[in-house]
């Protein structure tokens, strides 16, 4: 059976931290679905079409990567598409505690779905989309924090 994983997140915008986790995980699975969660409560900085375009451009040479938008519970999305793995990145102990409860509850809902964690590289531990948005909002240059291919593109 094909090993398929979903990497859920907001990707508002995609960062080098996400890119690194995705590249490493794509070696472990036959297919990796980057799933942008539609969240009615979060006000995103970038339109969903932009976020999709930037992820696609970043991984244009990687045939294993697919980009989708979904709403509802990540485990329900996995179930409807017969996906066996959820991928998450861990930067800090705070990430771990947050992910632990979600992962354990997800396992109670659907025991057949496994959550897989990859540790961030040390140089990306401090990086998150919210810092990148702050840089952009204040007219700074975010290019060192977003994928190389997106240089000059991720702006308001």
**CB neighbours of residue 69 within 10 Å:** 12
Write down the least CB distance from residue 121 to ligand ADP, Å. Answer: 7
φ, ψ dihedrals at 86, nearest 5°: -110, 130
Write down the least CB distance from residue 41 to ligand ADP, Å. Answer: 11
Q: Does 9 bind ligand ADP (CB under 6 A)?
A: yes
**CB neighbours of residue 111 within 10 Å:** 8
Binds ligand ADP by CB under 6 A, chosen from 124, 142, 146, 154: 124
Binds ligand ADP by CB under 6 A, chosen from 128, 135, 143, 153: 128
Write down the least CB distance from residue 20 to ligand ADP, Å. Answer: 6
Q: What share of the chain is helix, strand, coil (3-state, %, to 5)?
A: 40, 20, 40
């Amino acid at each position: 059976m094909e090993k398929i994983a979903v990497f859920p997140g907001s990707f508002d915008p995609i960062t080098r931290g996400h890119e690194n986790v995705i590249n490493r995980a794509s070696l472990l699975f036959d297919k990796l679905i980057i799933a942008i969660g539609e969240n009615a409560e979060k006000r995103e900085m970038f339109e969903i079409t932009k976020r999709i375009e930037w992820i696609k451009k970043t991984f244009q040479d990687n045939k294993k990567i697919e980009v989708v938008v979904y709403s509802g519970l990540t485990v329900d999305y996995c179930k409807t598409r017969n996906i066996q793995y959820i991928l998450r990145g861990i930067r800090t102990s705070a990430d771990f505690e947050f992910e632990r409860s979600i992962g354990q509850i997800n396992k109670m809902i659907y025991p057949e779905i496994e959550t897989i964690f990859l540790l961030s590289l040390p140089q990306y531990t401090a990086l998150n989309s919210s810092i990148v948005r702050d840089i952009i909002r204040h007219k700074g240059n975010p290019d060192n924090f977003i994928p190389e291919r997106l240089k000059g593109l991720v702006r308001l």
